[in-house]
Each structure stands twice: as C-alpha cells, then as structure tokens.
Amino acid sequence: MVWDLTSEGEDAGNQTDSGEKERKLPGNGASKRKTVHVIVAAGEWGRDGLRYRRHRLAEYLQKQPETKDVVWLCPSPHITEDAYSSLPNGIRQVTITDIMPHKIFRFGRYMDVFYQSKLRSLLFYLKQGERDNRIQLWYTFPGFPLLVDLFPWDQVIYDCSDLWSSPMSGRNSALSSLRQRIISGAENRIIQKADVIFCTSEFLREKVVEKRGNTDQVYVFENGVEFSLFAQEEEKASDVLPKDFTGSVLGFIGGIKPKLDFSLIAEVAKQRPDWLFLFVGPDGTGKHSQFQELLALKNVLWTGSVPANEVPKYMNLIDIGMMPYKKSPYNAAVFPLKLFEFLAAGKPVVGVHLPSTKNCVEVDSYTHLETSHPSDFLNACERFVESKDSKEQTMRRQELAKRKDWNVIFKEMVETCHAVSKTVRKESKTVLPIAKRKIK
C-alpha cells in the first residue's frame, strides 16, 4: 500500500509516552487540519450495483474542501487482487477477507479474533497522518467493532440505517438467533463508544437509546434523494415495456430481497391483468420460490440489474411506485430510499408495513397500509391511477422530495458532528503500539 497521509513528507507520530492521543477541540488548531473519514461499510463499493445511503455519504464527504481522504473499509467474501485500491471517484477502498466465501461465515465480521490482524496495514496508514489530520471513524454497519479501540479517533460516528441483527425475511431459527446475538453484541460495543449516532427512523432511535442507556447525541435523519437526478430526467428507458401496452405500470426499483411480500403482489397481479408490474434491480432472494412464481405471471416483468445512472429512465416508465414489504421487526425499522426517489420523479407511492414512513403520508402522494390484504392495496393503487397524470400533483410530490435532498441531509449531519462536544482525550485507556497488540 503506497497511500500517504503526511503533510510535506513529515513523520506524523503524535502520541504521548502512554500511547494516548489528545483530541483537539475546535479553536485549538483543529479547523486548520483536514479530515480523513474512515467509513466501515457492509460490502465492496460496486458489489451489487446498488447505491445505498453509505455510498452517498462517502461521496458527499469526499467532495468537501476540508476532506483529506475517504477510506471505504469493507468485508469481502473473496480474496481480492488488491486489498488496498483507489476507486474511480477517488475514494480509497480497503477490503477485509471473510474466513470463507459462504455467507454462513460472515459472523467473522463481528468477532475480533477473525479480523483484528487484517487491520494492521490500515492502522499503520492512519498513523502517518495522525498529527496533521483529524481522523473520523464512521460505522454504517456494525462490523469490525474492535476498530473503535485500536486507534485514537478524533470522533466516532454510527450511522444506523437497519435493524442489523434481525432476519430480513422475518423468519426465526436457531441459526438466526445465534446470528442475532453475535451482531447485537458487536453493535452494542459501537453504540457505547460512539460520540454521535444517527438513525434513519424513530424506531431505530428507540432501539439505540435502549442499548445506550441514554439519549445523548442520538439523532434521527431519514433517508434522502438525489433530487435533481430524478426530477430532471425526461427520457424513458427503451425496449422494456411490451409493445402497444397502454395500461398502468406499477413499479419497484431496488434490491429484490426476502423482505418483500411477493405473494401480495402476485394476488394483485392476478386480479388486475390489465396492469403491468415492473421490477427493476438485482435478485437478492437466491431465486426464492415466491419470487419465481411471481415472475411466471404474464403481467409481471423483471429487468434484472441496471446501471445506477439509468435508474431515473426506468422510473419514468412507472405510473405508481410500490413498496410492498412484509410485516416484520426488520421492516419496522426500514425507511426505504425508494420513497423520495419515486416522489422526486413525480410518482405517487403505496407502501406496506413501513411504520417509519407514516409521517410522510399525504393524499395524492403517499399512502401507507398496515395490512397485506390485496383489496386494500388494489384500492390504494386505483385511487392513484385516477390522478397519475395530474401536473399539479406531480409538482406537489416533487416539492415534498426536494426537502429531502441528500446534500441538505448530510450537511446537517456534518454540522451536528461539529457541534457535538468532543472528549479531550481517550477514556483512561492506552492505545498499544500495533506490533504489541495481541489477538484476543
């Protein structure tokens, strides 16, 4: 690894004899230093072709004038050709290889003994710029919890966007219970050490506060949207819909995962053969039987993955956005990225079992259902069909989405981090020289 964080080639060692490093408070020179952001992410940058909140956060931070570097630290199921690489957008990626490729071995991401030694090169890299830069740690998933103790970070932030320990499918088993205990334990360590915590829903905030034991520096920042990307795109994706089709198109865009209620959409599709149900995105179900049965219906179409910059063109094919989620603890915490993307494109949306979105309900824009009855879903969609071409309603939906532009959200999050009082020094612990650290 040849990355260099030092200023003017100087050695940047700045620890006390005990290994402690004082955190610089605003006004004591911190404003003159640039910031290195280390983002702990759930997967490699382009792993499934999807762009999540963490991707937008990393790109926002990368563009800020006070940023020196953004490091994307992530697990990888396979040994990569270059564990330390620079992405085309300038972000630096560091991959930590799992114990084995199969997903059952992903528990190693949360247990110190399986990853600690693999962090040494990253820690040496950060040590180069310890004196000249502020170095912040952002957790966007609860992996590698020991990292918070291996370096004297200027600030530790946890951006919590999912109920990570809960099974996405909503089904419990002995294996999922074990997984839940391991991930919950890792997350709890991060929650206790974080200086600032952001949550994408009030549900998540309540869970975090319960673990943290207090409400100190825990905030809700819902997901947003790249507003101009969706609002200004006028072109439609070509050669997707059947020729001469003139009916209504109900669409879902994003990762297709077990959290979706495929049986609900299958029943609705059978009752409305004149509607087309369009799914755009990668299959994350492992070819689940219910998804395959849904695709067998004549009025259901799946495009597979599409390039991220092409998504707005597919959005323009849709008349009504649908977010048909199952009722589960995992989905109770979810605030889908898709909601404001649909609205930014001027599309009305019907959501199911997404209590975190209730505050966004508005006539002619967004309807939320607390039931999986096909008749309720049909009725909600039929009401939107009647007003789908209303220019007035289209403008209103876009007005709602514009308030949630990612730039606005991230600016407020960063300002909140700056405003939070920082501890002057690490809490009565010694950060050991890397060579002397033992794997527990």
Does 391 share its domain with 247? yes
Among 116, 133, 150, residue whose Cα is nearest residue 4: 133
Among 14, 12, 114, 26, residue whose Cα is nearest residue 420: 26
Does 299 share its domain with 172? no
CB 398 within 8 A of CB 231: yes
Q: Please report, for residues 147, 168, 255, 288, the alpha-carbon distance to residue 285 in angstroms, rounded to integers and kept in the order given.
A: 31, 10, 9, 5
pLDDT given at position 4:
65
Q: What is the rounded CA–CA span in Å between residue 275 and residue 164? A: 35
Among 12, 55, 43, residue whose Cα is nearest residue 152: 12
Does 270 share its domain with 171? no
What values do phi and psi take at 322, rounded to 5? -125, 140
pLDDT given at position 422:
52
**36 forms bridges with which residues in the sheet?**
69, 135
Does 197 share its domain with 93? yes
Does 219 share its domain with 295? no
Is there a domain that residue 319 lies in?
A: yes
For the chain, the domain total comes to 2
Does 411 share its domain with 324? no
Q: Extract the tokens encoding 356.
A: 């975190």
The domain containing residue 336 runs over which residues? 227-402
- Within its chain, how far is the Cα of 150 from the centroid? 25
What values do phi and psi take at 362, rounded to 5? -155, 135
Contacts of 438 (CB under 8 A, 6+ apart): none
> pTM value?
0.88
CB 137 within 8 A of CB 176: no
CB 362 within 8 A of CB 401: no
- Cα angle 154, 155, 156 (rounded to 5 degrees) comes to 135
Does 282 share its domain with 159? no
The CA radius of gyration of the chain, in Å to the nearest whole number, is: 23
Tens digit of pLDDT per residue, the chain (440 long)? 556 655 433 333 333 333 344 434 333 444 578 999 999 999 999 888 899 999 999 999 999 999 999 999 999 998 877 889 999 999 999 999 999 999 889 999 999 999 999 999 999 999 998 999 999 999 999 999 999 999 999 999 999 999 998 877 667 778 778 989 999 999 999 999 999 999 999 999 999 999 999 999 999 999 999 999 999 999 999 999 999 999 999 999 999 999 999 999 999 999 999 999 999 999 999 889 999 999 999 999 999 999 999 999 999 999 999 999 999 999 999 999 999 999 999 999 999 999 999 999 999 999 999 999 999 999 999 999 988 889 999 999 999 999 999 999 999 999 999 999 554 334 434 454 443 443 33
Q: What is the rounded CA–CA span in Å between residue 421 and residue 257? A: 40
Is there a domain that residue 9 lies in?
A: no
Q: What is the rounded CA–CA span in Å between residue 263 and residue 41? A: 32
Does 59 share its domain with 77? yes
CB 94 within 8 A of CB 73: yes
- Within its chain, how far is the Cα of 89 from the centroid? 18
pLDDT given at position 169:
67
pLDDT given at position 2:
53
Q: What is the rounded CA–CA span in Å between residue 207 and residue 259? A: 20
Is there a domain that residue 80 lies in?
A: yes
Is there a domain that residue 205 lies in?
A: yes
Does 147 share its domain with 160? yes
What values do phi and psi take at 344, rounded to 5? -65, -30
- Strand locations in 217-280, DSSP E? 218-220, 249-253, 276-280
Is there a domain that residue 353 lies in?
A: yes
Is there a domain that residue 22 lies in?
A: no
C-alpha atoms less than 13 angstroms from C-alpha of 160 in its C-beta half-sphere: 30
- Strand locations in 306-400, DSSP E? 320-324, 349-352, 366-369
